[in-house]
Amino acid sequence: MRILVTGGAGFIGSALVRHLIADSTYDVLVLDKLSYSATMSSLNPVVGSSRFRFARVDVCDAAAVARAFEEFSPDIVAHLAAETHVDRSIEGPRIFVETNVMGTCVMLQAAVIHWQGLSGQRQSEFRFLHISTDEVFGSLGADGRFTERTPYDPRSPYSATKAGADHLARAFHHTYGLPILITNCSNNYGPYQFPEKLIPLMISKALAGENLPVYGKGANIRDWLYVEDHVRALRLVFERGRPGETYNIGGRSERRNLAVVEALCAILDRLRPRASGSHRELISFVEDRPGHDLRYAIDCAKIESELAWIPNESFESGLEKTARWYLDNEAWCRSVQEASSATQRRGLKMAG
């Protein structure tokens, strides 16, 4: 079996590739344009495998994508390539439309042509898994959780483009019969995450003795999902999920942003104490993100009941593993930060 993974040098994509090479017999082809948030170092554990291949390809490049389908002839596509940072989408929405919407359209068109050229069992077993986000559902109040039937209500350029991509995937299923699967996940965290996202950013700044900037009052609530739990769920979906269906994936670990930062400070106080005082003393409150959604929470009962998936990590155990990984891999963090502006504040207004 052959699986094509777009965005496979990114955070979640590389975790999926590492999982597949370590725990399956799949041949894996990664397509990634290696933008600022993707790095080949995330794939270092698998580059020596005879079952791993890499091609530097932008999913918006229809000719290059078509060649990849023709030469590799995948049985499964896991489409993760996307621009993902809300703050960056506020500053510059166009690249999000290009990659998340147009890139998904290119992948779907190439997949239809490839799938229609297959026959027999290979055609009936082909799957296209589109990986999305819970942010397409908008913002929750104090109660309730997102289900697979929650109406879409995106609030940022990022979530609007992911919603558009979701709709395209469903349209290709209903129009062409392409065996599509869609997943919507909650906030991921874990090793190799680019340090512009909350948890690795706080670790990086804490180690440097810098202030830990928390948006607003830190009251926004997210459901946290350890990335290795997520990729196990993705594999179950493309192996056993029903074409045309959507599966929500969450960690059942709702936390206020401030509570996340405080829990991380407690771990760092224990594993890498400051010369004096607690890391909590570095917490500062900064201007909130425009249109900041209050709360996300996932109801993952469907994937639990249909595919027997549950997260292995609690938030506490996952956060501990994550902190230890970053402490053991400070050189990796410095290298990706030096190659980008990862710690720069973004998203207060559209860039001119």
Res 251 pLDDT > 60? yes
Cβ atoms of 39 and 13 within 8 Å: the answer is: no
Res 270 pLDDT > 90? yes
* Residues forming the active site: 134-135, 158
> Looking at residue 193, what is its pLDDT?
95
**Secondary structure (DSSP) of 212-236:** EEEETTS--EEEEEEHHHHHHHHHH
C-alpha pair distances (Å), 219 with each of 161, 167, 254, 291 = 26, 31, 12, 14
Res 346 pLDDT > 70? no
Rg (CA), the chain: 20
Every domain of the chain and the residues it spans: 2-189+225-252+291-313
> Looking at residue 279, what is its pLDDT?
98
> Looking at residue 331, what is its pLDDT?
86
Residues in the chain: 352
The closest of 225, 206, 196, 202 to 214, measured between CA atoms, is 202
> Rounded mean pLDDT of 40-50?
95
> Looking at residue 151, what is its pLDDT?
97
pLDDT category of residue 344 using cuts at 50, 70 and 90? low
> Looking at residue 337, what is its pLDDT?
74
Contacts of 183 (CB under 8 A, 6+ apart): 129, 130, 131, 132, 233, 234, 237, 246, 247, 248, 249
Q: What are phi and psi of 256, to 5 degrees?
A: -70, 150
Cβ atoms of 96 and 37 within 8 Å: the answer is: no
Contacts of 352 (CB under 8 A, 6+ apart): none
Residue 70's identity, in one-letter code, is E
User: What is the rounded distance in angstroms from the CA atom of residue 251 to the CA atom of residue 230?
Assistant: 9
Residue 256's identity, in one-letter code, is R
pLDDT in tens, 139-189: 999 999 999 999 999 999 999 999 999 999 999 999 999 999 999 999 999
> Rounded mean pLDDT of 119-128?
98
pLDDT in tens, 86-95: 888 999 999 9
> Looking at residue 28, what is its pLDDT?
98
pLDDT category of residue 280 using cuts at 50, 70 and 90? very high
> Rounded mean pLDDT of 191-199?
92
Indicate if the alpha-carbon torsion angle 273, 274, 276, 279 is positive or negative: negative
pLDDT category of residue 349 using cuts at 50, 70 and 90? low
> Looking at residue 228, what is its pLDDT?
98
User: What is the rounded distance in angstroms from the CA atom of residue 201 to the CA atom of residue 286?
Assistant: 15
> Looking at residue 332, what is its pLDDT?
86
The pTM of this model reads: 0.95
% of the chain surpassing 90 pLDDT: 88
Res 321 pLDDT > 90? yes
User: What is the rounded distance in angstroms from the CA atom of residue 337 to the CA atom of residue 330?
Assistant: 11
**Strand pairing report for 254-256 and 221-226:** antiparallel
Among 113-122, 196-205, 287-296, where is mean pLDDT lowest? 287-296
pLDDT category of residue 34 using cuts at 50, 70 and 90? very high
- Give 146's DSSP letter: B
User: What is the rounded distance in angstroms from the CA atom of residue 199 to the CA atom of residue 11?
Assistant: 13
Cβ atoms of 149 and 215 within 8 Å: the answer is: no
Res 234 pLDDT > 90? yes
> Looking at residue 27, what is its pLDDT?
98
> Looking at residue 345, what is its pLDDT?
54
Cα dihedral 109/303/75/57 (nearest 10): 50
> Looking at residue 335, what is its pLDDT?
82
The closest of 16, 177, 174 to 81, measured between CA atoms, is 16
Look up the CATH number of domain 2-189+225-252+291-313: 3.40.50.720
> Rounded mean pLDDT of 257-279?
97
Res 53 pLDDT > 90? yes
The closest of 169, 202, 199, 174 to 187, measured between CA atoms, is 199
Res 83 pLDDT > 70? yes
- Give 40's DSSP letter: G
> Rounded mean pLDDT of 190-218?
94
Residue 66's identity, in one-letter code, is A
End-to-end Cα distance, the chain:
47
**Secondary structure (DSSP) of 262-312:** HHHHHHHHHHS--SSS-GGGGEEEEPPPTT---B--B--HHHHHHH----S
> Rounded mean pLDDT of 4-16?
97
> Looking at residue 291, what is its pLDDT?
84
pLDDT category of residue 347 using cuts at 50, 70 and 90? low
> Rounded mean pLDDT of 317-326?
98
> Rounded mean pLDDT of 259-281?
97
